Amino acid sequence: MIKVNSFIKIFILILFTSYILAKSKKKVVVIGHTGAGKSTLCNFLCQEYKFQAEASSDSVTQIFQTEQIELLDYTLYVTDTPGFTDPKKQNNWQILSDITDYIKKEQVDFVVLVINYSIRASNEEYILKWLSYTLPLNKSNSLILVNHYWDIQNFCSYGEENDNQQLCQTSQMKQSEKNNQIFMNFVKNTFTNSTIEKINYNNELDLTGKEFKILIKKLKEKYFPLAQLDHRNVCNLQNKIEIELQKNQDFCMNKFKLPQEEKYQRKMAKLEQEITELKAGQRTLQNLVDSINHDITKIVNNPGEEITTGILWWARQYKFHSTGQINEINRLQDDKSNTRIQILSQQMIEQKIKEKLEKLEEESESLVQKIPYLKEFKICLQQANKNIQEMIEVKNYFEALNSLNKQKQSLQ
C-alpha cells in the first residue's frame, strides 16, 4: 500500500512538472522613475509582498529582481527594475541602456511603464521620449500606468483658515491640475501606440486596492496572454536616428527620382520598340535578299539557249543565257541592291535611336546626381527630418549627460 501511494505521488509530481513545463511563458518588465510605484505594482501582480516598495525619491530597488508566478494558462515572470531618475546615481543614464539590454537579452514580452503625477524629474521628458524612440511599444506589448496621486496635505487645512489661505490653496490646486493635464497630454503624444491606464489614490486604501485589483485582472487576463514585443527592434537611439535619416533621404530622393525615371523609361521603351520594329523589318529585307540570290543562282545554273558548232566528229554543244534571262538577272540584281540600301538605311536609323537611348540614360543618371542639390529636395528633406529633430535633441542630451558624468567621476 505504501509503495502504491509513493508511485501515485511520483506520478502526480511528474504530471505536475510536465504541466508546468508545457505552459507558455510570459515575461513582463516594470520600469519607471524612482518612487513611481513599480514595486507596488509588482507586489500586486504577485499577490504577495516580494518586492520592497517605498514611496520616496530614493530608489529601493538597486538591481533587476524577477519573481515567477504560476497562473492557470501560463507562467508569468515579473521583473522590477531600478528607478531611472535616482538623484543618488551619478551614472543614472546607464540604467536606461541596461533596461533595453535586458529586454533584448531576456526577450521580454510586455513592458509596463509606471509614471507618478506627484514625482517629477528635471530630465523626465527626455527619458520618456528616449524610451518611446528606443522601444517598439504598442497596445499589444505595453501599458503606461499613471499613478494619479494627490498630496492632500498641500491642498487641505486642518485648522482655522482665513480667506487668503483658502484662495492660495484653490490657486495651487488649479495650477497643479493644469500641470498634470499638460503632462498627461505629453504622455499621450509620446506614447501614441500604447494603452494608458490611471490609478487614482484615495485616502481609503481599500478603494485604491480595488482599482489595483481590477487593473491586475485586466493585465493577467487580457494583456499578458497575447503579449508579444519584438525585442529584435529594440535599438539604441544613435542607430535609430541614422536609420530614420536614411529613410527620409530615400523618401525625398524617390519623390523626385521616380517620376523622372518613369518619364525617361517611357521614352526609352518607345525607342526600344522602334528598334525592335526596325530589326524585324531588316530581317524581312534580308530574307528578300536571300530569296533574290536564290533566284539569280537558279537562273545562272540553268541557261535557256543551246548551240552546236563544228563538224560531226568534233561537234561541241554550248549553253548560254537568253536575253530574257539576262534581263531577269539584271532586274533581280537591281532589286537586291535597292533592298540592301533599305537595310543600310534602317541600320543607320537604328544607330541614331541607340545614340538617343544612350543620351537618355546619361540624362537619367545625371538627374539622379543633381537631385540632392535641388532646392525642392532640400525643402523636402528638411520637412521630413522635422519628425526626428526631437530624437536628435534627446540623443544630444544623453550624450552631454554622459560626458558630464564622466567629468564628475574623474574629479572624484
- Give the span between the Cα atoms of 285 and 203, in whole angstroms: 101
What's the helix, strand, coil split of the chain in %, to 5? 65, 15, 25
For residues 279 and 219, state if they share a domain: no
| Other Cβ atoms closer than 10 A to 197 | 16
* In the block, residue with C-alpha cell 496635505: 153
Residue 17 is assigned to a structural domain of this protein: no
- Give the span between the Cα atoms of 380 and 255, in whole angstroms: 9
**DSSP three-state, residue 286:** helix
* In the block, residue with C-alpha cell 509614471: 115
Mean pLDDT score, 352-367: 92
For residues 174 and 291, state if they share a domain: no
Residue 240 is assigned to a structural domain of this protein: no
- C-alpha distances out from residue 318 to 216, 304, 309, 315, 321, Å: 119, 11, 8, 10, 10
For residues 94 and 116, state if they share a domain: yes
30-45 residue pLDDT tens: 999 888 888 889 998 9
For residues 273 and 201, state if they share a domain: no
Number of domains in the chain: 2
Within 8 A by CB and 6+ apart from 121, the residues are 33, 85, 127
Question: What's the confidence (pLDDT) of residue 157?
Answer: 33
Sign of CA dihedral 242, 246, 247, 251: positive
CA-nearest of 153, 157, 158, 159 to 118 is: 153
Average pLDDT over the chain reads 82
Given a cut of 80, is residue 163 above it in pLDDT?
Answer: no
Q: Using an 8 Å Cβ cutoff, are 217 and 209 in contact?
A: no
Q: What is the pTM of this model?
A: 0.65
174-211 residue pLDDT tens: 667 777 788 888 899 999 999 999 887 665 677 778 88
Mean pLDDT score, 41-53: 86
Question: What's the confidence (pLDDT) of residue 387?
Answer: 81
Residue 241 is assigned to a structural domain of this protein: no
Question: What's the confidence (pLDDT) of residue 131?
Answer: 92
Lowest mean pLDDT among 23-37, 55-69, 201-215, 304-318: 304-318
For residues 346 and 397, state if they share a domain: yes
Tell me which of 235, 256, 277 is where a domain ends: 235
Tell me which of 235, 254, 272 is where a domain ends: 235
Residue 10 is assigned to a structural domain of this protein: no
For residues 224 and 315, state if they share a domain: no
Tell me which of 204, 235, 266 is where a domain ends: 235
For residues 192 and 291, state if they share a domain: no
| Maximum average pLDDT range among 48-62, 64-78, 314-328, 390-404 | 64-78
| Other Cβ atoms closer than 10 A to 403 | 10
